[in-house]
Amino acid sequence: MEYLKLEFEYKELVAWQRDLLIQDLGEIGFDAFEETTRGFYAFIVKSQFNPATLETLLQGLPPTNGVEYKLESIPAKNWNAVWESNFEPLFVGEKCHVRARFHKPNPDYPIEIIINPQMAFGTGHHQTTKLMMEYLLEIDVAGKKVLDMGCGTGILGILALKLGAESVLAIDNDPICCESAAENAQLNNVSPLSVCCGDAGNIRENAYDMILANINRNILLDQLAGYAKGIRKGGIMYLSGFYEGEDLQLLKTKAARCGFEYMNHKVQDQWVAAKFNYI
């Protein structure tokens, strides 16, 4: 498979703005990134690259950022092997150890999650995934029916099942993510984790005690009404994939309109995970 490598350079772009740009690039088909001293590399399958879509995205950036990019074709290679070589074990609090199959187990941690690194989001290394995992490790998940929206590798649903959830429905609109989530559920010997390739239209009505949605602000705002349809009274919803300030306020306002009560939130490097109760 032939890829394109785009080298992004910027004059004034702080870390959270860079992360937001990477997130936006992910939504238009870019599936791997690598930081550089002056910016970052972004990789995309050549057949999926649309220059007009990229230019539209960049035009929406503040003009002072001065983002520029260079484009080059790169030969086909085993991208999963490259990705795996950069995968490091992750420790969440004192309870959870996330590793790949080629890492050694760590018996000091009562919960172990094995993730097969693929071109799918959600190994736990990103701040938002880690914040969501911290929330799950703090609460009683036993016996709950869980919806994992934008499941990526399925790591959040897998953790929920390891903590005693009755069942998990994992939904993602990316077939690669769905395949990855199903494979990782088997690797961790957890069930029942059902995987659905779709969107909020696949949410069953009044079916879930807990909703986990680690996506991005705009998709969350668009799907909150669907989450309200699917969650039971008294259910808990955890959202992540956005920033402090305006993002959080917009989501709190929209969530309240949909029947959710804001409870609290966690922050890491300006990324946020927030807890809501459905009343």
| Domain final residue pick, 77, 106, 136 | 77
Pairwise CA distance, residues 218 & 212, whole Å = 16
Q: Which residues of the chain have pLDDT under 70?
A: 1, 11-17, 62-66, 75-86, 117-124
CATH value at residue 18? 3.30.70.260
**Is residue 51 located within the same domain as residue 114?**
no
Q: Are 88 and 63 in contact (CB under 8 A)?
A: no
pLDDT the model gives residue 262 = 98
Distance CA 80, CA 235 (A): 38
3-state DSSP assignment of residue 195:
strand
Amino acid present at 28: I
Residues 183-217: tens digit of each pLDDT = 999 999 998 999 999 999 999 999 999 999 998 88
Model confidence over 246-263: pLDDT tens digits? 899 999 999 999 999 999
Beta sheet of 90-92, edge-to-edge order: 90-92, 96-99, 111-114
Domain boundary among 58, 77, 96: 77
Residues 28 and 147 in one domain: no
pTM of the full structure: 0.77
pLDDT of residue 48: 86
Judge if 213 and 129 occupy the same domain. Answer: yes
Instruction: Give the residue numbers spanning the domain of 44.
Output: 3-77
What does the alpha-carbon distance between residue 219 and residue 214 come to, in Å, rounded to a whole number?
Answer: 10
Burial of 56 (0-12, 13-18, 19+ CB in 10 A): exposed
Which one of 77, 109, 126 terminates a domain? 77
Q: Strand (E) positions, 104-154?
A: 111-114, 145-149
CATH code of the domain covering residue 124: 3.40.50.150
Query: Kindly report the CA angle at 245 between 21 and 35, in degrees rounded to 5?
Result: 25
